[in-house]
Amino acid sequence: MTFKQKLIAMQIYIHTVFIVGLWVLPVSYTIPTIIVCHIIWVGFCGTVFLHRVVTHKNSINPIIEHILLMLSTVGCVSSAIAWAGSHRKHHRYSDTVQDPHSPLVLGKFRAYWQLSTVDSDIIRYVPELTRKRWYVIQHKYYFSILGILHILVIMSLPFKLYWALLVCPAFLMWFIGSVVNCFGHNVNGPKNNIALSIITAGEGTHKNHHLTPANPNFNHWSDWGYAIFKLIKAK
């Protein structure tokens, strides 16, 4: 199986177990868990670390960077190298047949699962990351790390903790990222959706971001991801 095929298979499993958790666990447990996971993995790991820091080369405190690299692994949205490479390719070829997740080209279903990403094509977009030891280790052993982690937690902790620590973060990171991919573009290109921006830590202000991709500030009050970035940015 390719890297992408393994990732999709893992996420189909994650989506299934997430729904099971919603069914069998009490709302008094699932709702607070979703809120906390949303802040940590969508806010810190997703929109700030993978997107603004790794992909668009904005610096944060190096200790926090390594912590978020480890936490983002749990998110099961691919290694930082693969995620950044795919997103840089998206910016270069936005809404063309070479865009790895354009809903205009692929349709929303395929864009949600990001089925067009070409594994062998991604590394050339992130040459500087291939010189960072821990990024390379995470990429090389990504599924081994995830597999061991899931097995250990399943064997040692009750289902509700497994759901909270590994399943909920992975579902939310994939779901939010893919929803932005699916609804952040229309026939006119990137668009802003303020309701989506509030939910996604600013990612819904997609047109603003595409106008100045390297800017960690998406220039809208709904961009609470930028508030997180300012807390941890390099001094």
pLDDT in tens, 29-62: 999 999 999 999 999 999 999 999 999 999 999 9
Closest CA to 176 of 159, 156, 155, 199: 199
Short-list 80, 187, 86, CA closest to 139? 80
pLDDT of amino acid 51: 96
Listed as own residue / partner, the contacts of 212-219 with beta carbons closer than 8 Å and 24 or more positions apart are 213/56, 213/91, 214/56, 214/57, 214/58, 215/56, 216/52, 216/53, 216/56, 216/58
11 contacts 166 by C-beta, under 8 angstroms: no
Tell which residue, 19, 9, 3, 6, has the closest CA to residue 171. Answer: 19
Closest CA to 138 of 49, 219, 221: 49
> pLDDT (tens digit, 0 to 9) for every residue of the chain, 235 residues total?
788 888 999 999 999 999 999 999 999 999 999 999 999 999 999 999 999 999 999 999 999 999 999 999 999 999 999 999 999 999 888 888 888 888 888 888 888 987 556 566 788 899 999 999 999 999 999 999 999 999 999 999 999 999 999 999 999 999 999 999 888 888 888 889 999 999 999 999 999 999 999 999 999 999 999 999 999 987 7
- How much is the pLDDT for 115? 59
- Residue closest to 99 by CA, chosen among 184, 5, 16: 184
Predicted confidence at residue 182, as pLDDT, reads 87
- Token pair, residue 201, equals 């830590």
Model pLDDT, residue 118:
58
Count Cβ atoms below 10 Å from residue 27 Cβ, excluding itself. 8
Query: What is the number of domains present in the chain?
Result: 1
Give the residues across from 125 on adjacent strands.
none
Q: What pTM was computed for the model?
A: 0.93
What distance in Å separates the CA atoms of residue 50 and residue 56, rounded to the nearest whole number? 9
b or e along 55-86 (b: 16 or more beta carbons within 10 Å of the residue's beta carbon)?
A: bbebebeeebbeebbeebbbbbbbbbbbbbbb
Structure tokens, 7? 């990732």
pLDDT at 33: 98
209 with 94: CB under 8 angstroms? no
CB 74 within 8 A of CB 149: yes
Range of the domain at 109: 3-232
Q: How does pLDDT run across 101-135, given as a tens digit for each residue? A: 888 888 888 889 875 565 667 888 999 999 999 99
pLDDT for res 117: 61
